[in-house]
Each structure stands twice: as C-alpha cells, then as structure tokens.
Chain A
Amino acid sequence: MKNREVFLTDLALITCIVQRGLGDEIVIAAREAGALGATINYARGTGIRERLGFLGVAVEVEKEVLNIVVATEQVDIVFSSISLAGKLDTPGMGFMYVTPLEKASTYIPPTVVEKLEERG
C-alpha cells in the first residue's frame, strides 16, 4: 500500500477563539489531553473591551484562533481540558466549537502503514 492512499478518518476539528495571549496555555492543556498539533492565528472580534468602549469609541479585541485536530474518541477529553484551561465558562473569555471531519491525510511513517496492512 502506498502512503498516499492512506486516509485518516474519525477525526474532529476543535476551533477555539480566545483572548490574545491565552492560546499557548490552551495548546499545552490540549497536548496534555492527547492532542498532537495545533495551528494558531490572530483575528479581531467582539469582547469585553468593545463592550466597555474606550473614550466612547468601541475597541475591537484581538483574538487568537486555535485549530486542533483530534480523534473523535479524544474530542470530549480535549474539549473539557481546553474549557478548563481557557476558563471558557467565564463570560468574555472565549468560546469553541467542534466540526466533524470526513477524512484527512498526512505523512504516515512506513512502519505504521505496515502495521495497518497487517491488520487488514
């Protein structure tokens, strides 16, 4: 079996939007819960500062958007870990959602592919 024909299934994407600067802490928690990797990018959104305003001018709030791909069996534990680490139950801290993935593909070491072949 060629590596290029191996697809990963049963995956989900956790997207978490938090205040800028909190991303690393959340990624650490996600990795400790079993997530392998993450991507982090910046965005602007609505937050406490915008609500309060500054000298009568609404301020857009800088956010960090985290995308973490995990196996579906790990979604709940990673989701909970992120929620705790990011204190997402506190108003204004952030929110997250899970998107089911149909399939994924990446480099898979030949030894793993061989094991998969043996299992059929």
Chain B
Amino acid sequence: MGSMILRTAAGFLLPLLLLFSLFLMLRGHDEPGGGFIAGLVAAGGFAFYTFAFDTRHTRRLLRVDTRSLLGVGLVMAVLSGVPAAFFGQPFFASQWFRFTLPPFGEVTVSTPLLFDIGVYLVVVGVITTIVLTLADPEH
C-alpha cells in the first residue's frame, strides 16, 4: 500500500521508535514514562511499519508470535508479585535487590522493573495482535 517515501521512512523510524520506547520504559521507574506508554510507542512503530509494508512483513520482522509476547509479558507481570510472599509480605510488595556488577558499579534490580517489562510486553503483544488481525486481508 505504501509509497516509497513511507517505506524508507518506516525502515528508519521503527528502530528509533523502539529505542525511544525502551528509554521511556526505563525512565518510567522514577519519572514520567513507564511500561504502558512505552509499549504503546513500540506498538505504534509496528503499526506504522504495517501500514508502510504489509502484515506479512511485520510478522517476519517480529519473528515471534505476538500472542507469545503477550503471554510472556503476563507471566512476568504476575510473577513479579510473587517474590514478596517469600519475605513474608503480601503479594506485590516491591522487593529491591542491590549488588555490584563490575563494569557498572552498584546496580539495583527490583520487582517493579520486572512488572514494568511485563506490562510493556503485554501492551506490545495485545496491540500488535489487534492491528495485525484487523489489517489481515483474509479476516
């Protein structure tokens, strides 16, 4: 469907949008941003790519089934609530783990980050599934 300008632009914009979505997700930890809108940005990138090319190209680009993305994200989000139970706290109490990783110095990993990544994957999975279903000619 797309013109040459759109196709060329899509090829450049998709990586940029994906990079930006990662930035948004990590930034969302303490500042405006977060898994949800980051997922929307990434899904927007894929939707744009679908407009420029077609669903077959997007599916090939994604490599994995979008529904698996959704499933893995949901598993991560749900599991992020579980560690709290091992520390005698209610589910979804956030847990923080600090340790030193040689090149980066002190690194903090937390369950909210895991939750955010899960949300990110769920949003990307859901929206690309919907977009691809709607755009597929045979449906």
Chains A and B belong together in one complex: no
Q: Which B residues have a C-beta under 8 Å from some C-beta of A?
A: none
